[in-house]
Structure 1
């Protein structure tokens, strides 16, 4: 999300590294594998110091905590596992200038947009591989995920089902203009082979971290046991499932991944129609905005460097801006503001695009845009959502509406097509 001075002695570099061996005591996020720091070697001298500092300060860590873990000496960045700089993780060589910068050797961002191999006026996305990642599991897991609610005798709202419906519409339209569409999932079953009960050891480690001096009790009260079970569930659907999808994406190697979601505002556990919030808000997330707490984990430091150095941020930002423009034009809902929440930070010219360090957009390789559609519990969207998917128009609340899922699919297809250099008129309603 590694580079050295030209002419810097290779022998000197190796000698310096031997003086500070990499520690084996990695601090890792839950379920994260230990980082392969050698995988970053492909990025040595492929970015200038000026560009590296720019991306850290404007997108990846605007609040500055990344620099607490690093030392820059000329064009060498030394990354440590701790703020005291006692645990060396990696040394990165930066190019001193553009003339000395090596070409990017890692195949992390597709060159399709530059070459547009096979594209034509009628098929502007031919050759482009788009991965659709409909959020959440659904099915019998929906209540565990807390992505299920029902008001009285109204049809239940299950977010995973809504995401799949929108993704199906997007897939048809993207394929119609030449894109190859691949998926992380199509069914309402987990992608991961892990299950909550198999994550007890990890749940205990999360609740009783060894580094914090916590001791696992010999026995548990019923209340603590419920907390352990809940932690197992959270690790299953918020973590193991996303990591399994990341493995699929790594094999598919798409040019762009779209994480497709509907949003919601907070409300009670037993909602009524009177509690529907007045208005939806919209947002598209790109990757970035790491906090100091997140950077305490070695895997997240690795992820930041990988994303930064592979330059996924450029296509992510462009695609997110394009999709956001289509969202605003179609739905006219205002953007999120996040004025009192530091986890998301607005980036770029669009008021709808924010940087956020989500697990999905952090560990999915290649450019990723995480799109949040209308609020499932908003007055302006709820009745349209429970009306389901349909062809043509239907009168809802005294006004004729097309399927909200068809509109969502069109927004994604038009946004991607415009980003890729085609025209939105190429995307025809179906």
Structure 2
């Protein structure tokens, strides 16, 4: 029985991927090899998966692994074939190789060729022929598996995936988990509402070179902070976070490793918020905002200034001091409970025209208002400019006439003598 390969577009290998692994248990069930480095004598494993290769319950997939050294020399090739009936859409194969002692150190390339040797058109023809073979009592047709040469000419039947890995004679000295996060601690486990709690955790780099990893801080299953740490080789660092809650009850704090090659051990602790707890921290006012009711006023017109202040410590009284152009304008004694927020109002009047900068003590906050006069200023009188050039011309003209008359008289007098 001869089958013609149809090139009509049909479902074939949709996509796929490859991973460097150290253990494979089944389809999509494997353990990643964290650093992709292999010393001679170790086992290199590459997991490859093809998607969309089931055609009417039939799977026929070939995998070719081509390994090239740092000089682009082919050092190994392997062919694997899968043929079976099943309903799953995906297929996988694992390449395994004991790294030879003769492989040089450096970056290696693994080209993974995946050939889907069936398609829907072929299977339609196959089942039609199969039915006819029973009806006509003819020979049962063979499964129409195309050869790789024909499959490679069809983009939908041939997929190439490239992975890189390292051959490194010192790789066996590297730990499986480069970064370790452990010993999460709280500075207190029972606090008053909104009282801050310090969370600390140790992060260790067990690698011979410095590197970085990332952490997420969760409070009651919600991410509230993220950080990235750079840690020197074979060293540890303590990282601190601050959390708080105004809700009475127990609250769970978690540290989640998000960086590569990082393991976290016992990364969950609980603290309790209770109304019975007293605030032990000293009274401390934090200035949050300055508001001015008018940007521009006339001289001696009142400006109302509101300073927003919060007490982050225990209940107490502190002065709130207002400065105008760095000079103390007024101070008020204010009493606040823990976590209480209040607007403190000041009325300011300035008679001189100009700009006035408003600040409060122990704060970088500042605002500006202007005192401007609306009375019109008389325009200066400008004396008319006297044009002197025409008078000068008259004087010169008269002088010339007088001189000419004088010369004429001298001439006539001398002639009649």
Relative to the length of structure 1, the TM-score reads 0.14
- Higher CA-based Rg: 2
Relative to the length of structure 2, the TM-score reads 0.14
Query: Where is the strand percentage greater, Structure 1 or Structure 2?
Result: 2
